[in-house]
Structure 1
């Protein structure tokens, strides 16, 4: 198999699944999220979106690769409670709407159908799936991951607070073989197609409906480069993306989490000082940070351990984004420069923190990270 053909169907299936999930989550945001829900800290819209998107993605994957394991963020336990009937009804409706018309909307389905007499890959588009079928699809995400075999990692809505604020969030899907990420697809419904365009301001509900330049899909296959395209566009509109070639880190900029609880902002500021970086950090939620630096909208992504460093990063929060950055010319590691190990289960328990930067300057960033942590008395992390 040529490198260009490697994992072609997995790539197509992932694109179809993420595209459908992005349309679904965008619909949830437009219909259910208001300034009032945010003020009241009502997380029900993101709950509907999370479950529905996972049901859709897992259904698409299973129709093509029924034996593949899926490591997903959600399970259906709470949904099966009698008092969750209204929530279940919303999920069933949204998921079936997103799964409609596979032959027309999913190149992978048409490709599979032309090569096989099996009708299974068409089943979810020809009739509505039952509530139980969709709950079972959600529970396909209960795999433990590991070092051997084929496995997918899914975060149906990465950046829940960004989603609720009308900011950045992402639908993230990665395909792994023997613990190595081979395919990464990330859909960012609120990210402009052009990196130089202004991002929607958080809290401006309905602003996205007035723009036609939002919604960007990022795709990478190991050894084949990284690409972006509008979420709803055809594959021939893909364009290659690469990280900025940095001559001096003093001209670089950071991408970091909005929430201080996700990464140590104070440590990040000290690292910037050590590297001579004076630009204000770009703060956004989700793996939108990975894809932003991959296409040059920022240069360094830091997610440093908070406190005693006991938190274990989840594989679905980093698998797709790390591959996209690496295929765009970057390197992704933990704070000690060790590669992220996606083969030890559902978490990155053998790694602490995440550092992503262009491969030419990654070592410099790691040295600055180490010095900053030593100064804080956290050099043991």
Structure 2
């Protein structure tokens, strides 16, 4: 089945959201709301989700959306100024949008992660990186019967050329069975195929991990690196940009190791990035070697942690994790 129409809609939506996020980051309003789990949420999170939801509603009105955010806090009169900021950012794209439209679009992301077909969105993956002016991503994936079939991963601050600081902005697009490619996130340009690294020397492996120690056990990662004989220290960056870095061969290993018992990863933190890496030739499992299972609602309830690699080292990494009882 062709996914051309879905890709067209998803890519346009992510590009629109990424432009809004870039504008907000350049303004760098340091004030954020705080969600019930104490994580920050910015004007960009809300505006991005509203714009993606609007685009999907217009083009694919029957498709549910599972998003990270909801509009409950914005409906609080105490946050009227924040709603005004979000509305202004959305209205710069959707001129006729009212504040009620914006709230309604955001709340389209409150769908259950069930049904034969639905979209999963992280409107600003890596909010703390966003607030630092560093890496973040707009991550959108289409799930059909619980399998990720399509992904668009927009990385506004990731350089187009790994060896050059400018220009920035990469959109990774993957379709199950159709490979992965990269396009400029901002502006026009030809697509290029992305493939994982072919490096086989364990000592030369390049590792990336989360900046935030609350997202991944850095001490455990360091011990894995030591036991594998990897010479370089892990590079830390925020968001699913790490998946993009592995997919295009800039790193061979991404570790997201459990920080506490019972924690369940959120589907929107991995759906898009996982497919991009897999279609680029890489391998994605949990720390027990099981494929990521997206059949259980909004969390990866049957998985622990995430291990992403270019392939050749994967079994050895899992063996080390077992030896460390992780």
TM-score bucket (shorter structure): over 0.9
Q: Do the aligned residues in 2 keep the contact of 1:46 with 1:164 (CA within 8 Å)? A: no
**Structure-1-length-normalised TM-score:** 0.81
Q: Out of 240, 244, 247, which is 1:291 matched to?
A: 244
> CA deviation digits over 1:234-264, x for unaligned, max 9?
3x61100111012222211111000111101
Counterpart residue number, 1:110: none
Q: Do the aligned residues in 2 keep the contact of 1:149 with 1:178 (CA within 8 Å)? A: yes
Counterpart residue number, 1:10: 6
Q: Do the aligned residues in 2 keep the contact of 1:196 with 1:297 (CA within 8 Å)? A: no
Counterpart residue number, 1:141: 109
Counterpart residue number, 2:36: none
> CA deviation digits over 1:74-107, x for unaligned, max 9?
11111111122211111112112234xxxxxxxx
Counterpart residue number, 1:86: 81
Q: Do the aligned residues in 2 keep the contact of 1:331 with 1:362 (CA within 8 Å)? A: yes
Counterpart residue number, 1:61: 56
- Structure 1 position 214 matched with structure 2 position 168: yes
- Extract structure 1 runs of 4+ deviating beyond 2 A: 42-46
- Structure 1 position 43 matched with structure 2 position 32: yes
Counterpart residue number, 2:190: 237
Aligned pairs for 1:166-185 within 5 A: 166-185=133-152
Counterpart residue number, 1:193: 160
Q: Aligned equivalents of 1:87 and 1:339: distance in 2?
A: 40
Q: Do the aligned residues in 1 keep the contact of 2:32 with 2:42 (CA within 8 Å)? A: yes
Counterpart residue number, 1:362: 314
- The offset of 1:173, in angstroms, is 0.5
Counterpart residue number, 2:28: 32
- The offset of 1:233, in angstroms, is 3.1
Counterpart residue number, 1:121: none
Counterpart residue number, 2:295: 343
- The offset of 1:46, in angstroms, is 5.0
Moved more, 182-191 or 357-366: 357-366
Q: Aligned equivalents of 2:213 and 2:82: distance in 1?
A: 31
**Structure-2-length-normalised TM-score:** 0.94
Instruction: Report the secondary structure of 2:5's partner residue.
Output: helix
- The offset of 1:158, in angstroms, is 0.6
Instruction: Report the secondary structure of 1:95's partner residue.
Output: helix
> CA deviation digits over 1:311-363, x for unaligned, max 9?
11000000000000000110101001101011110000110000011223221
- The offset of 1:32, in angstroms, is 3.0
Counterpart residue number, 1:227: 181
Counterpart residue number, 1:19: 15
- The offset of 1:196, in angstroms, is 2.1
Please give the root-mean-square deviation of Cα atoms over the aligned residues, in Å.
1.5
Counterpart residue number, 1:71: 66
Q: Aligned equivalents of 2:129 and 2:77: distance in 1?
A: 30
- The offset of 1:144, in angstroms, is 1.8
Counterpart residue number, 1:324: 276
Counterpart residue number, 2:37: none
Q: Aligned equivalents of 1:168 and 1:214: distance in 2?
A: 11
Q: Aligned equivalents of 1:70 and 1:362: distance in 2?
A: 33
Q: Out of 239, 251, 258, which is 2:211 matched to?
A: 258
Q: Do the aligned residues in 2 keep the contact of 1:195 with 1:296 (CA within 8 Å)? A: no
Q: Out of 256, 266, 269, which is 2:222 matched to?
A: 269
- Which structure has the bigger radius of gyration? 1
Q: Aligned equivalents of 1:246 and 1:130: distance in 2?
A: 52
Instruction: Report the secondary structure of 1:98's partner residue.
Output: coil
Instruction: Report the secondary structure of 1:293's partner residue.
Output: helix
More helix by share: 1
Counterpart residue number, 2:254: 301
**Unaligned runs of at least 5 residues, structure 2:** 34-39
> CA deviation digits over 1:163-221, x for unaligned, max 9?
111110111101110110011111111110011234xxxxxxxxxxxxx5011111111
